[in-house]
């Protein structure tokens, strides 16, 4: 065993970020856009590009 024992109560907690929320909204807009584009909706292509 090359590693020394560490304290199990110490762990890394990253700082809060807005980017997971922003990324999930962008992914939802992209998927709605591509689904609408495939169903020949006039607004689907632009929604896909915006997302």
SS3 2: coil
pLDDT of residue 4: 67
Q: What is the pLDDT of residues 12-49, one digit of tens each?
A: 788 899 999 999 999 999 999 999 999 999 999 999 99
Do 34 and 44 form a contact (C-beta atoms < 8 A)?
yes
SS3 11: coil
Q: What is the dihedral of CA 36, 41, 42, 46, to 10 degrees?
A: 0
Domain ranges of the chain: 19-50
Residues 6+ apart with CB under 8 A from 37: 44, 45, 47, 48
pTM: 0.67
Token pair in block for residue 12 = 């890394």
pLDDT of residue 14: 82
């Amino acid at each position: 065993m090359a590693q020394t024992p560490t304290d199990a109560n110490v762990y890394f907690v990253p700082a809060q970020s807005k980017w997971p929320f922003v990324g999930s909204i962008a992914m939802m807009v992209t998927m709605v856009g591509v689904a609408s584009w495939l169903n020949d909706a006039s607004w689907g292509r632009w929604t896909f590009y915006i997302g």
